[in-house]
Amino acid sequence: MTAALLTLADSRLPAGGHAHSGGVEQAIAMGVLTDAGSLTTFLRRRLATSGAVAAGLAAAACGGGDLAALDAEADARTPSPALRAASRQQGRGLVRVGRRAWPSAAWDELPALPHHAIALGVAAAAGGLGPRDAAQAAAYLSVSGPATAAQRLLAMDPLTVAAITARLAPEVDDVATRAVADGLPAATDPLLDLLAEVHATRKDRIFAS
Amino acid sequence: MRTDVEIVARRGPGGRTVLPVLRATGQLAVRRTGATTVHLVATAFGPLGGDDATIRIVVEEGATLGVLSVAAAIALPARGATTPSVQRIEADVEGSLDLRLEPTVVAAGAHHRAELVAGLGPHGQLTVTDQVLLGRAGEEPGRWTGTTRIERGGRPLLHTTVGLGTGEPAWLPPVAPRAYVSTVHIAETVHIAEEEVGVATGQDAVRLPLPGGWVTTAWGAELHRVVRAAAALAPAAPVRVPA
Amino acid sequence: MPPDHNLDDYVDAPGAHRHGGPLRVGLGGPVGSGKTALAAALCRTLGEEFDLAVVTNDIYTTEDADFLRRNAVLPDDRIEAVQTGCCPHTAIRDDITANLDAVELLEARHPGLELVFVESGGDNLTASFSYGLIDVQIFVLDVAGGDKVPRKGGPGVTAADLLVVNKTDLAPMVGADLDVMRRDSAAVRGGKPTLLISLRDEPTAAAVADWVREQIRVRVPA
């Protein structure tokens, strides 16, 4: 690992992540997420599904995989149009800052609006990181953004939310390790699809997803 | 125990579907039950943990095949075994395949893995339904892991793994359903715009567009209600198929 | 990182990484000060002269956009709404990604675009736009917020390229001293302009529109 990983996983990296709640805004609206306990549950299922898939894709993209083929695999694992749009929007944001932060020819091989995980893998490679690092950043980002979104929306104690995220670290590591070892996971959570699609139709949403 | 089923459907004289290959060994038998349908018939209890079934289906261009089963499958834990039972379906579809097996009930302590890998040719069309119930009446839920991968011409259209039941990482309260239904429909033409079959949502049910088709997923406490919720989201006039 | 990596290649003056394109004008200020009303007025006044569009950063996505549709005679394809994830200041200053996406989308949709207003969500006195997002920024206060506000300063008041004090017609009603506001603004703004206006009395916002015209005129062509 190099310090580039810290930059890549930093919530302050201006790649647009702060406007995405990863389903948290809608989970709160539907009463699925109400407190610290249900936040932990929500983050766990997100990490185990979309987090694992993102970790696998990021690792493969970092490891020199065919980026267009990986982007198609990401689409196949993301049938929800709302989730696809959110992923590609964040991918575009990461490419914008990544190109300037870590110049590399690899950026030009990406499709126009890449899935976030694919862009993350390219960013990791461009920053001198390896597939395991890319997987770790993807897995971590799958919970860190949603955690702070819940903190903002529910006015939760930030220390509690920080503790929840920190205590998920072994699970984040485990997801990253398996993503590298087992190839491309396809774990999905239909609940996240439903939350994303209902959220996308709302006019009173604060988060983009 | 190993089970192997092999079915080949071919367009015969006058457009009839003929079945040049129709064989089964192990815990399943296969019977032709109609002009374009076969039924899978369980010949033993189970599947039990450790049982491994592979069903290979080839539907050649111009042929139509429906694969059904006569009764729900009840996945049971094997004594002392911790390995899951596995049912793997490999489908090569140049014609039209309708795969509608009866529900899988996963008994307490059992873990069943269902896998479908379907490769569609340019004219291939596919409808496949999974119906799952965790636990028999009054019983703790078992565990079900279902993977679906559908490709057309090598391009992946859908690849998902859903895990239900104790031990599955995304099966957590307050959303930990015992019943689950998912239907995928891919029409013959790949040129149908995804907007034509757009997103629809219900309570604990969602329909998502796929290239040339859609996938509906529903979940809840009781299977019959979940079946209805999924059916309610299926487009009234399914993706149009050129004559 | 390659050994010949030269930091200077990636450090640039505000906005220097983009060339040409429309003038981007940030509109910031506290809740209720009249940002959206000013945006609508400027669109009406300048809409015949310039090819223009607006990005809104409302808390609830469509409120400002709907207001603009009704009041600025702007078609839907010239209004983009951005979600800010509870943090309006983040979206205009710390992580401008979503706003850049919206501006670039408008630029791609309208290749002749000359002017884009980026209206922030209502925020506090410390909220200012990043010059990575906009070229010039207007901070909008209103008289009803109290005549002490300019004195309090904060980056919005002190650093904005133009400070607009709106709703001067309310000054007698709320006991605000416009001279105090004018004097305090001048004191904290180091010579940068301040305009006191009333959109109710003068709905074309002519003075602000003149300032915007001047920004377009003096802008160094790409």
What is the structure's pLDDT at C2? Answer: 43
Summarize the confidence of residues A12-27 as an average pLDDT: 94
Note the pTM of the prediction, 2 decimals: 0.91
Summarize the confidence of residues A129-147 as an average pLDDT: 97
Q: C10 vs A92: CB contact, 8 Å cut-off?
A: no
Residue with tokens 């398996």: A178
What is the structure's pLDDT at C178? Answer: 95
Give the pLDDT band (50/70/90) at residue C17.
very low
Q: pLDDT digits over B61-99, tens only?
A: 999 999 999 999 999 998 877 799 999 999 999 999 999
Compute the Cα dihedral for B41, B43, B46, B48 and give only its sign. Answer: negative
Residue C51: how many other CB atoms lie within 10 Å: 14
CA B63 and chain centroid, separation: 19
Mutation target for C interface from A206, A207, A209: give the one with most C CBs within 10 A. Answer: A206
Give the pLDDT band (50/70/90) at residue A166.
very high
Alpha helices, H only, A66-130: 67-76, 81-101, 116-126
CATH of A19-200 given 1.10.287, 3.30.1600, 1.10.1760, 1.10.4190: 1.10.4190
Average pLDDT, chain B: 92
Tell me if B164 sits within 8 A of B197, measured CB to CB. no
- Contacts with A103 from chain C: Cβ below 8 Å: 10
Mutation target for C interface from A2, A10, A18: give the one with most C CBs within 10 A. Answer: A18
Name the 3-class secondary structure at B200.
strand
Q: A49 vs B172: CB contact, 8 Å cut-off?
A: no
What is the structure's pLDDT at C3? Answer: 39
pLDDT above 50 for C177: yes
Q: Which chains touch B (3 or more CB pairs under 8 A)?
A: A
Summarize the confidence of residues C163-188 as an average pLDDT: 94
pLDDT above 70 for B107: yes
Tell me if C33 sits within 8 A of C6, measured CB to CB. no
Q: Which tokens go with A80?
A: 């929800």
Q: Which residue of A has its CA nearest to B199?
A: A197
What is the structure's pLDDT at C14? Answer: 44
Give the pLDDT band (50/70/90) at residue C219.
confident
B54 strand-pairing partners: B4, B88
Q: Which residue of A has its CA nearest to B174?
A: A32
A193 in contact with B at a CB cutoff of 8 Å? yes
When comparing pLDDT for B192 and A157, which is higher? A157
What is the structure's pLDDT at C83? Answer: 86
Q: A14 vs C96: CB contact, 8 Å cut-off?
A: yes
Summarize the confidence of residues C103-122 as an average pLDDT: 94
- Contacts with A141 from chain C: Cβ below 8 Å: none
Residues in contact with C166: Cβ distance below 8 Å, sequence separation at least 6, in sequence order: C33, C34, C37, C38, C140, C141, C142, C143, C197, C198, C199
Give the pLDDT band (50/70/90) at residue C84.
confident
Summarize the confidence of residues A196-209 as an average pLDDT: 92
What is the structure's pLDDT at C1? Answer: 40
* Cα angle for residues B19, B23, B24 (degrees, 5° grid): 145
Q: A187 vs B205: CB contact, 8 Å cut-off?
A: no
Chain A residues with CB under 8 Å of a chain C CB are 4, 12-21, 89, 92-93, 96-97, 100-103, 127-128, 149, 152-153, 203-208
When comparing pLDDT for C59 and B159, which is higher? B159
Q: Which residue of A has its CA nearest to B218?
A: A190
pLDDT above 60 for B173: yes
b/e sequence B31-67, b meaning 16+ C-beta within 10 Å: eeeeebbbbbebeeebbbbbbbbbbebbbbeebbbbb
Q: A92 vs C17: CB contact, 8 Å cut-off?
A: no
Summarize the confidence of residues B128-146 as an average pLDDT: 96
B229 in contact with A at a CB cutoff of 8 Å? no
What is the structure's pLDDT at C73? Answer: 76
Q: Which range is least confidently modeled, A86-100, B152-166, C7-21? A: C7-21
* Window C:61-90, CB contacts with A under 8 Å: 61-62, 82-87, 90
> Across chain C, where does the E strand assignment appear?
23-28, 52-56, 79-81, 115-119, 136-142, 162-166, 194-196
Report phi then psi at A104, rounded to 5.
Answer: -165, 150
Asked whether at least 3 C-beta pairs link B and C within 8 Å, the reply is no
Name the 3-class secondary structure at C35.
helix
- Contacts with A49 from chain B: Cβ below 8 Å: 169-170
pLDDT above 60 for C86: yes
Mutation target for A interface from C61, C87, C95: give the one with most A CBs within 10 A. Answer: C95
Average pLDDT, chain C: 87
Name which of C119, C189, C196, C197 is nearest C152 in CA terms.
C189
Give the pLDDT band (50/70/90) at residue C26.
very high
What is the structure's pLDDT at A144? Answer: 97
Tell me if A157 sits within 8 A of A98, measured CB to CB. no
Closest CA of chain C from A93, distance in Å: 6
When comparing pLDDT for B194 and C218, which is higher? C218
Residues in contact with B241: Cβ distance below 8 Å, sequence separation at least 6, in sequence order: B125, B187, B188, B189
B25 in contact with A at a CB cutoff of 8 Å? no
Asked whether at least 3 C-beta pairs link A and C within 8 Å, the reply is yes
Q: Within 13 A of B70's CA, how many CA atoms are on the CB side?
A: 12
* Cα angle for residues B141, B142, B143 (degrees, 5° grid): 125
Summarize the confidence of residues C96-122 as an average pLDDT: 94
Give the pLDDT band (50/70/90) at residue A1.
low
When comparing pLDDT for C29 and C87, which is higher? C29
Average pLDDT, chain A: 95
- Contacts with A75 from chain B: Cβ below 8 Å: 156
Q: B206 vs A188: CB contact, 8 Å cut-off?
A: no
pLDDT above 60 for C222: no
* Window B:138-197, CB contacts with A under 8 Å: 147, 149, 155-163, 169-175, 182, 194
Hey, where are the domains in chain A? 19-200
